[in-house]
Structure 1
Amino acid sequence: MAFVEPGVAAVEARQADRAKIRAVAAGRRAVVIGAGLGGLAVALRLASAGWRVTVCERYGSIGGKMNQIEEGGFRFDTGPSLITMPWVFEELFEAVGERLEDHIQMVRVAPLCRYLFDDGSRLEMTVRLPDWLASIRNFEGRDAAGFLRFLSMGAAALELSRATFFERSPWERPSMADLAALRRPLPLRTVLPYATVVERSCRDPRVRQVLNRYTTYVGSDPRRTPAMLSVIPAIEMLHGGWHIRGGLYRLVRVLGALCERHEVGIRTGAHVERILTDGNRACGVGLRGGENLPADVVVMNGDAARLPRLLGQTTASAEREADRSLSGLALLFALRGKLDGWPHHQVLFSGDYSREFDDLFERRRFPSDPTVYVNVPTRTDPSMAPEGCEIVFVMANAPANDGDLWDVSMLGEARDRMLARLDRAGLMSALSGADLVAELTPRWLADSFDMPGGAIYGANSHGPRRAFLRHPNKARRVGGLYCVGGSVHPGGGTPTVLMSARITADLIGKYERI
């Protein structure tokens, strides 16, 4: 299956960048810290260009947050649950001489989502925009036009992002093509708070809830996030959402196998305790146990907030909890039975979304009435469970606090609130016979993947600077040190992490000349 590719000029520019990487690599050594999605992707790109690459992963499996739990024939993805912008995945495979369709089967999710509101009403997000707009008209006739204007703003922002923000680091001097793209006019309201523009576009509080939820895709508060992030609903609503047959962890397995084919050394259980430097240049990593691995470049695939610690900068300013993105609490259920009539994705909205965001970002506590996301991938892909069975992933947002222990009492109270929302939506009875396989808390995320407080997307996107000037892909004070992943440019999300890997590999080709 072929997806829409970027413009010819962008493709030719990438081919030229890859040629530069091959010209300078000549068997030079790169060490990647972390085998998350970004780490695997950048390792594969560098290895295919001639670098000798070693990936050090401190834990026992690859994938980072994009992982999987298997129990009695049930396979639960523990990270992302939806794929968007599939052409980004195609480009990665093409860059290393492979075809996506030879390794991965992507299945379009339809409907994209079902939204259930506190008053008992519902909204079905279909794959056809006219049907979706008709559903909105049933709520508030005038909202369809406002919704379309909001979506058009997001589409304009997306086209600009594809020509600039998604292609290169904003910390680099812009090219003539970048400057030409930046001349495209954007609505002035893209710099306003996201929730403000939603409120001006749509009257019905339920439609507002649907749109405001999209900023939580990057762990942020819609009242503090710039409306430029309207690109997120534009991507999903205009280009669709996809599932990977066998689960999204299938992508990790495939990238791991391709890395091995390109002679990338993946070392699990290899805990990097420090980045070695010679003067102001990275020259390798030091592992727990005393082993040192020399390198010409080091790539950090992990939360960028951990870099100062790895560089031994004990005087580095501490990151504020208030600057972190959201974490989450997930309940994983195995059901020996079918959930006929349930869609792949459902969102059960709380009765007061503003109060929920106050709980998360102001009071920094688990919401008293949480919005709950329900993911049943077996509705699209029965292969993820035994025949006649379903897997159910239930999640609510939570703050990323270091001091939250998530002990039995705290976990029990939060679980009860989530299940109460399912019960209010009329879904709990269908899960009465389900087995609770696992509970994934913010503390589990923090401890399993070295994420401060369990913050899923690193820093939040509050304000234009934090939204668009994320941690750079190339360290500014230490030569030969690069970063990749959701906490650095261009940000969190599966396709943007793959963009991060491409941008980082291109920067290595540009700066690491013999």
Structure 2
Amino acid sequence: MERVIVVGAGVGGLASAIRLQNDGYDVTLFEKEPRAGGKMNRIVEDGFTFDVGPTIVMMPELYREVFELAGRDPDDYIPMVAVEPLMDISFSADERVRLSNNLADITATLESVSERDTEGYLRYLGVLYKRFLIAKNNFLQRSFRGPLDFYNPKSLVAGLRLHTLGDAYSSVSRYVADERLRKSLAFQTLYIGISPYEGPSLYMIIPMIELLYGVWYMPGGMYTMAEGMARLFQELGGDLRTSSPVEEIVVRRGRAKGVIVDGAFYPADAVVCAADFPYAMKHLVKDERARGSYTDEKIDSMDYSCSCFILYLGLDKQYPAESLHAIRFASDFKKNVTDIFDEGRFPDDPSFYLYAPSVIDPALAPEGMQGLYVLVPVACLPEEGADWSEEAVASYRERVLDLVERETAYDDVRDHIVYEKLYTPADFAERFNAYRGATFGLRPTLLQSNYWRPHNKAEHCKGLYFCGSSTHPGAGVPIVLLSARLAAEELRRDDRSRRKRAGAARRAAKASEGCMSGRNSSAAEGRASEAAALGKEGSR
């Protein structure tokens, strides 16, 4: 196997392409957008620079691994600085908490609530760390090919030790009584697009990772990672083709044979699809047998993550905000979450996330100015369409800005907006082929996680592999990087098996040829002896 095509230059596509190119494969990477990155993209206008999608760097060793495996120094591509304080959290106009990475500071913050909750909080982090190690060693870093990869004594015991049947919010509530602390621990499940009242308690490892491993920032914003990966891929000799949307993954006789781009067929020995799995199955894999159980009906019936409504605001003023990241909680957080996941409507009282990168990186805004990213978790697009008309968007914008001014440091933000751009679920669907605009892909419910999540190796098509947020192990940049690793490992595993079989076949053929040659030689000698005997008889 020599030629590999990767579909989609998002985080997963870039990382898998780098791994395979570095392993000696001839990799071509097709991307529909004018530049690589997928949702990890950037807006650069009027002197302001904004990250489009991801903004928080956690588990930096997984970011660095992509460069280290190619023998590069990650600091030459993705320098990082630790973020401190970790985050500001607002529960109302007069009630705010600052979270820190520093153990002494976080302990002081917790003790200001109660010593009992401090003890419970720290004890819970220990419980989560134990579960994290179980998940990492048994599920997150393993792919699943067949039932026995999951339904075996070791995996089943590990699953029981994870206590996945309870939801995230109930899990933290057993250790912490204060409602504010419960929210500050439970809301991070929204990072991967699932309600803390629904998501398996396993996903409480996210706040543990933040607190124990820290949160980091890359100068230039998160797009620095995408830019660095694209540069490394090309330095390794990879062929990156932007503005080249793949129209079809071609399957012949049960094997992926290449792709069609702009009507032209590009052959390959294997295809890695990093496009959103539900979109890819519905629109790119047109061979029904290759899709297996993922029919249109099944894809439509699956559960999808929430989406995002994002305001990118360029401000002609610098506000006294000290935190890179901030969260504003709805007064009734459970109703807020119900509006999103059960009712499928814009929340009556939305929670939102603020990201102010120019606080730490002044180069991202003109001198004396500031950029502000405001993200509101919202429902994904329903099958029948949603109301994201200009009038609806304008109404949602006003609702959010009212709360920003009333409950954050940006108390007169409307008066200082000099640049503005909006993203809705419809934009994520159109620009990044996020099925139903679900920013985080398939919702990581219990029955859409681990073995029950789409696998990294296609089950009904040889030579086809998947990575990305809708595939195993799930969403979030570090986890998608793991997904890329697993997809590349699956491809190499199949290639080794194919080479081994081909080598065995060649040896068998050579041995057979030797036997035939020996038999032919013996036959020739016999014929020569017979002729000689006949000659002697004739001479007499």
- Give TM-score, length-normalised by structure 1: 0.90
Residue 408 of structure 1: aligned partner:
390
State the shift of 1:367 in Å: 0.4
Residue 465 (structure 1) shift: 4.4
Partner of 2:345: 365
Question: What is the distance in 2 between the residues matched to 1:337 and 1:130?
Answer: 34
Aligned partners of 1:184, 1:225: CA distance in 2, in Å? 18
Q: 2:362 aligns with which of 359, 362, 382?
A: 382
CA distance in 2, matches of 1:366, 1:115: 22
Q: Secondary structure at the match of 1:312?
A: coil
- 1:307 match: 280
CA contact (8 A) 1:282 1:296 kept: yes
Distance in 1 separating the partners of 2:361 and 2:473: 30
Q: Please point out which of 161, 183, 187 is paired with 1:213.
A: 187
Q: Which residue, 137, 144, 166 being the options, matches 1:163?
A: 137
> What is the aligned counterpart of 2:336 among 348, 356, 359?
356
Deviations 1:406-430 (A, max 9, x none): 1111101211221122122143434
Q: In 2, Cα distance between the equivalents of 1:312 and 1:180? A: 37
* Alignment match of 2:324 (pick from 344, 354, 371): 344
TM-align CA RMSD: 2.2
| Secondary structure in structure 2 of the residue aligned to 1:503 | helix
Q: CA deviation at 1:318?
A: 4.4
Q: Cα gap change, 1:92/1:383 in structure 2, threshold over 3 Å: closer, same or farther?
A: same
Supply the AA of the counterpart residue of 2:485.
Answer: R
Aligned-partner Cα distance in 2 for 1:508–1:164: 20
Distance 2:161 2:460 in 1: 36
Q: Is the 8 A contact 2:46 2:419 kept in 1?
A: no
1:261 aligns with 2:235: yes
Aligned pairs for 1:210-249 (under 5 A) are 210-249=184-223
Q: Choose from 332, 344, 364 the match for 2:312.
A: 332
Work out the CA distance in 2 between the residues paired with 1:39 and 1:188. 30
**What is the SS of the residue equivalent to 1:40?**
helix
Q: In the aligned structure 2, how far is the partner of 1:169 from the partner of 1:351?
A: 41
Answer yes or no: is the 8 Å Cα contact 1:29–1:51 preserved in 2: yes
Percent identical among aligned pairs is 33
Which residue of 387, 399, 406 corresponds with 1:417? 399
Matches of 1:254 and 1:73, distance apart in 2: 22
Please show how residues 147-162 of structure 1 align to structure 2 within 5 Å. Answer: 147-162=121-136
- Show CA shifts across 1:205-246 (max 9, x none): 111111121110110011111111121111111100001111
Q: Which of 373, 394, 407 is the aligned partner of 1:393? A: 373
Are the structure 2 counterparts of residues 321 and 75 from structure 1 closer, same or farther at C-alpha, using a change threshold of 3 Å? farther
The equivalent position to 2:455 in structure 1, one of 467, 472, 481, is: 472
Give the paired residue count. 486
Of the three residues 265, 273, 279, the one matched with 1:292 is: 265
- 1:150–1:186 distance in 2 versus 1, CA, 3 Å: farther
CA contact (8 A) 2:54 2:477 kept: yes
SS at match of 1:164: helix
Q: Which amino acid aligns with 1:317?
A: E
Question: Residues 408 and 445 (structure 1 numbering): CA distance in 2 closer, same or farther, change over 3 Å?
Answer: same
1:92 aligns with 2:66: yes
Amino acid at match of 2:438: A
Change over 3 Å in CA distance of 1:180–1:99 after alignment to 2: farther
Deviations 1:297-331 (A, max 9, x none): 01111111023221215753243477100100110
1:174, distance to aligned residue in structure 2 (A): 7.8
Structure-2 change in CA distance of 1:479 and 1:225 (3 Å): same
CA positional deviation for 1:273: 1.4
Partner Cα distance (1:49, 1:102) in 2: 21
1:38 aligned residue:
12
Checking the alignment, whether the CA contact within 8 Å between 1:335 and 1:389 is kept in structure 2 is: yes
Residues 465-513 of structure 1 deviation map (CA, whole Å, 9 limit, x = unaligned): 4366321110000000001111111111111111111111111110123
| CA distance, structure 1, for counterparts of residue 296 and residue 158 of structure 2 | 39
Q: CA deviation at 1:336?
A: 2.4
Is 1:493 matched with 2:466?
no
Change (3 A) 1:321 1:359: farther
Q: Deviations over 1:366-389 (max 9, x none)?
A: 101000111001111112122232
- Quote the Cα distance in structure 1 between the aligned partners of 2:432 and 2:202: 30
Write the deviation string for residues 341-387 of structure 1: whole angstroms up to 9, x where unpaired: 43111101111011011100111011010001110011111121222
SS of corresponding position for 1:30: strand
* Inter-partner Cα distance in structure 1 for 2:159 and 2:266: 49
Unaligned runs of 5+ in 1: 1-24
Return the structure number with greater helix share. 2
Change (3 A) 1:322 1:484: closer
Q: Is the 8 A contact 1:372 1:421 kept in 2?
A: no
- Map 1:74-113 onto structure 2 (within 5 A): 74-113=48-87
The aligned counterpart of 2:34 is 60
- Give the 3-state SS of the residue equivalent to 1:55 in structure 2: strand
Q: TM-score, normalised by structure 2?
A: 0.85
